[in-house]
Amino acid sequence: MRGRKPTPKAGTLANTPMGALLRCPAHLSDVARKEWRRLATPLHEAGILTLADRAALAAYCQAYARWVEAEEKLAETPTLLKTPNGHVQQSPWLSVANKQLELMGRYMPELGLTPSARRRIDMPLGADPEPVDKIEFVVVYEGQDGNRIEKPLDRPANDRDSEEPGDGITCYELDSRI
């Protein structure tokens, strides 16, 4: 399908059998199990992870474990190796690490593990945050005596006693349409 992915709704399967907390598959390696334990509960509590997502999370966790193993091996061996006939080639561990990162990158957006993926998810937040209509900018610098100085940037021009970093910058009002 072309175009943007549809915006998933968090928690739509929470009150169904699909909303049960997932069990870690027995076939995962130890590192993959640790990654599963790190992610499964928070994703489930956020309403992102359901029973239907078990295979995707397992695949992500196993790719993560293989990536960790490849990175550990890369730390022990050089990135470039000399073959018996004298040619230089990259370490096979570098290829494994890169492939596992690629696989992880495919699963991360689907599981809500990237900032942009989390922004796409329509999650109920409870109370709306207070609207921001003004941002105060301050200049932070070290004075001649070595102390940290913070001064607002929205001071009127006649209130300035000396040329300091940030002079001439004012406070900005946010557009209400944002």
Q: Where are the domains of the chain?
A: 17-120, 134-173
For residues 9 and 142, the model is more confident at: 142
What band does 174 get if pLDDT is binned at 50, 70 and 90?
low
Q: Are 169 and 137 in contact (CB under 8 A)?
A: yes
Q: Tell me which of 36 and 5 has the higher pLDDT.
A: 36
Confidence check: pLDDT of 171 > 70: no
- pLDDT of 60 reads 96
What pTM, to 2 d.p., does this model score? 0.59
> What are the tens digits of pLDDT across the range 11-35?
554 555 455 678 899 999 999 999 9
